[in-house]
Amino acid sequence: MKRSRLDKIDKNILRRLQIDGRVSNITLSKDVGISAPPCLRRVRALEDAGYIDSYHAHINHASMGYGVTVFATVTLNSQAEEDISGFEKHVSALPMVRGCYLIAGDVDFILRIVAKSWDDYQDFFKTQLSSAPNVQLIKSLLTLKVAKEDCGVPID
């Protein structure tokens, strides 16, 4: 996948799509100041070059009954490659785990987990998370409020 240098129009397209991935090509082309056909070609080129991974809807957690978000730090007994990949495989199959990040530092992973209630999370913790292979320690951090949650990355 060849990565090309982004110009001002490409960055404006990415910025606009990051805010609203469902914007029509006509509206997008007007917003970035070019006509529709070259705008569509640029979007396809950005997709082909790997700048755009996917399009999705941002679902409101609470409206779907998931009123609790927990960040959990996980320390493994071993950091051997097969142990790390075994843990990753285990959590990849758990729908309540919405993000899993291997990190450097005192812990090995940070997980973002959604649950319907604190009791729901505790049940998940006992039956699914703590039984993951090679887990030594899990610390749960209950979120009280989402102060900011932007998707994507800053585009200069």
In this predicted structure, the answer to whether residue 1 has a pLDDT above a threshold of 80 is no
Confidence of residue 102 (pLDDT cuts 50, 70, 90): very high
- Return mean pLDDT, the chain: 95
Tokens at 88, concatenated = 């990753």
Q: What is the mean pLDDT of the segment spanning 66-89?
A: 96
* CB-based contact 109:99 (threshold 8 Å): no
pTM of the model: 0.86
Best CATH choice for the domain 8-48 from the list 3.90.1150.10, 1.10.10.10, 3.30.920.30, 3.40.50.2300:
1.10.10.10
Q: Which CATH number fits domain 62-142: 3.30.70.920, 1.20.1440.60, 3.30.360.10, 3.30.420.40?
A: 3.30.70.920
pLDDT, position 3: 58
Q: Give the pLDDT of residue 156.
A: 86
CA dist 78 → 85, 86, 101, 103, 133 (Å):
11, 11, 16, 14, 10
Strands annotated E in the chain: 68-76, 97-102, 109-115, 135-142
- Give the mean model confidence (pLDDT) for residues 129-137: 94
Q: pLDDT at residue 32 above 70?
A: yes
* Residue 125 reports pLDDT greater than 80: yes
